Chain A
Amino acid sequence: MDQPKNTDNSLWMFIFGAWLIATLSTLGSLFFSEVMELVPCVLCWYQRIFIFPLSIILLAGLFPLDKNVVRYALPLALIGLLFTLYHILLFYGLIPEGLQPCTQGISCADDSMVLFGVLPIPLLSLAAFSSIIFLLLKARASS
């Protein structure tokens, strides 16, 4: 009897953790755009498209606890990660300027991407997406 309860517990912890990160990222990116009035660049928008629903889908997967939520959440997180990786390549100049899609409007690679002069937003995004993916994979394995 104890065994399923324990795996339930760890499953809950993994999904809860992933939800927490997704929600913090959502609120954080809303804080950057709505309060600090940093205008999101094109690539930021794509990453936002994939992080925002995670905070809702994962929450739904916690009420009641449903392991299937991993199946719906993981693709979002993986695609989000791809955009983040592309953004990081651009940000650190590993992809030439001419190839970037955001020449008009807000640059995806300029200084406004750096918080408090030290913390680049693309790195925050990388940390968020990869830890969500890690936790979702742990959740999937916890059966």
Chain B
Amino acid sequence: MKKNVIILATSLLMVVLFMVATYLYNNQKAETKTQLAAQNNSALIAEYSPRKGSPAAKVTIVEFLDPACETCKIFHPFIKDLLKKYPNKINVVIRYSPFHHGSDQMVAILEASRKQGQFWNVLDLMFETQSSWAINHQARPDIFWRHLTKVPNLDLKRLQQDMNDPAIANVIQQDLVDGKRLGANKTPTFFVNGKPLPSFGYEQLMNLVNSELAAHY
């Protein structure tokens, strides 16, 4: 009987220890992330990056995303909802973290479609059709290409030419370098007015956005 109590007490102790250690570790990690973002503030926004929302908005969400990332796809409608809900208060900056194999080609399609003013339409379409062209953690731009014929007023010939623009490789390179400096080693990584999420999640993102909205409006 006494032995059973010992086993039970030891188990409880180990579980509590695990939870306390997790709590302490995560707290420290969140602090380090915040410091890292603050130190590398200059890396957060690049002039060339695609933006959406009012330029006068006081809340800026920076998202590092990978078109082939499933969680980015899941978060995409939330970001769009935020922009719809607060069109004058929030703007969104997109940075690229093409971690999947072949994702750099998807980014090239996005950047090329941007020259025709179709960036957001094509990004929406990419996420909508993601399951058809992101196969086994590989992005397949050749499969996605078929979906592009559905976009009205998109000149595919011109798109293909623009994809070869060497500037696109520079954009990707710079975004990867900046992402690394900011600790954006997973996608999506969000920064709201330069602040990282305390931990990853929809709720955490909404809380941070709401607290920044409350602070500035």
The chain A residues found within 8 Å of chain B, CB to CB, are 12, 16, 19-20, 23-24, 27, 30-31, 35-36, 59, 62-63, 65
Contact = CB atoms under 8 A, between A and B. Distances in A.
Given A27-B18, A31-B18, A16 B25 contact: no
Interface stretch (B4-12, B112-120, B173-181): B4-12
A35 B25 CA distance: 8
Contacts, number: 28
A115 B11 CA distance: 25
B10 A35 contact: no
Nearest to B21: A31
Q: How large is the interface on B (under 10, 10 to 19, 20 to 34, 35 or more residues)?
A: 10 to 19
Given A12-B3, A35-B26, A63-B4, A20 B21 contact: no
Given A35-B25, A36-B25, A59 B7 contact: yes
B204 interface: no
Given A19-B7, A36-B25, A63-B4, 4 more contacts: A16-B7, A20-B10, A31-B22, A35-B22
Contacts of B74: none
Interface string B1-42: 001101100110010011001100110000000000000000
B14 A27 contact: yes
A9 to B, nearest CB: 9
12 contacts: A16-B3, A19-B7, A20-B10, A24-B14, A27-B14, A27-B18, A31-B18, A31-B21, A31-B25, A35-B22, A35-B25, A59-B7
A35 B14 CA distance: 15
A31 B25 CA distance: 10
Contact of A16 (B6, B14, B21): B6
Contacts of B22: 31, 35
Contacts of A59: 7
B116 to A, nearest CB: 39
Contacts of B21: 31, 35
A44 B3 CA distance: 33
A36 B28 CA distance: 11
Contacts of B11: 23
A38 to B, nearest CB: 12
Contacts of A20: 10
**Complex A-B, nearest 9 residue pairs according to Cβ-Cβ distance, in ascending order:** A35-B22, A27-B18, A35-B25, A27-B14, A62-B7, A12-B3, A23-B14, A31-B21, A20-B10
Contacts of A63: 4, 7
Nearest to A19: B7
A119 B68 CA distance: 37
A59 B11 CA distance: 10
Nearest to A8: B3
A11 to B, nearest CB: 11
Nearest to B11: A23
Nearest to B22: A35
A23 B18 CA distance: 11
Nearest to A26: B14
